[in-house]
Amino acid sequence: MAQRDIIPNQVFIGLPWKNIRRRYERVIDKLKIRSPLSYVIVGRADDQDAEDLLIVIKGKLENSSYAIFDATTGNANVSLEYGYAEAKNIPRVLYFSSHLAAHKSKESAIISDLAGKRRNVYKTENKLFALLQDFSKRHSYNQRFEKALRKEFQRLPRGPKKRMRALALKVIHQLDNQSDIRREDLVQALLADTVGYNQSEIDDMIRRLRKYDILYVEPGRYSRVSIT
């Protein structure tokens, strides 16, 4: 089997597009300020046909370090995506909502292909947040990130430490949903942040993250940055 070109912090989420998606999007927005993981939900653009969408989904799955599938409502597309991840040996986990409102669908409660699989059950959005937060804490990229920050900033007072952590997360999340970014574009985006970061602290953070192999930065003036 050919080796996958993995983005170490990327996690694919396959879910029913109706009803369930918004709940995940709200949870992911809250996790971005706490975790360096990039959660990817692939949706259909208005001008995109099913074949194009399948190609995008396969690509995102193959680039992901892990995949989460929500089997609520027994969505056939989720089952197909799960089967593809299984065939490609992509680490994966099943989630399932036990809330009655989530099952207002003509589809079965859980599709037969996934019925025997172990799954993490949630009923409320807060429980879903707790599940994903726990998943984030156990993810290998997050553990490397936390270890790096402890080594670099453990002696800082609480205020500066909090500022540096927020900046580190923002640096990483500039790469969400893409394999790499121009270093110059990354810096300019952070200079425009309302917090008011300056050039030197942005450059210093990129250097520190590179030091611990959290980021890869190409040498040279026109370098590109990627997750490593």
pLDDT in tens, 93-110: 999 998 755 555 554 445
Domain 7-138, CATH 3.40.50.450 — does that match?
Answer: yes
- Fold classification of 141-227 is Arc Repressor Mutant, subunit A (1.10.10)
Alpha-carbon span 132 to 197, nearest angstrom = 29
What is the predicted pLDDT for the residue at 25? Answer: 96
What is the predicted pLDDT for the residue at 221? Answer: 77
What is the predicted pLDDT for the residue at 108? Answer: 47
What is the predicted pLDDT for the residue at 46? Answer: 46
Asked if domains 7-138 and 141-227 share a fold, the reply is no
* 216 three-class SS: strand
Beta sheet of 215-217, edge-to-edge order: 180-182, 224-227, 215-217
**pLDDT tens for each residue of the chain, 228 residues long:** 456 799 999 999 999 988 899 999 999 999 999 999 999 999 765 455 677 889 999 999 999 999 999 999 888 889 999 999 999 999 999 999 987 555 555 544 455 556 556 789 999 999 999 999 999 999 999 999 999 999 999 999 999 999 999 999 999 999 999 999 999 999 999 999 999 999 999 999 999 999 999 999 999 878 999 999
What is the predicted pLDDT for the residue at 222? Answer: 87
Pairing of strands 92-97, 64-70: parallel
Residue 67 makes CB contacts below 8 A (sequence gap 6+) with 11, 12, 13, 14, 61, 81, 82, 85, 90, 91, 92, 93
What is the predicted pLDDT for the residue at 51? Answer: 73
In this prediction the pTM is 0.90
The domains of the chain are located at 7-138, 141-227
Q: Which residues are 13's β-sheet partners?
A: 41, 68
pLDDT in tens, 4-14: 799 999 999 99
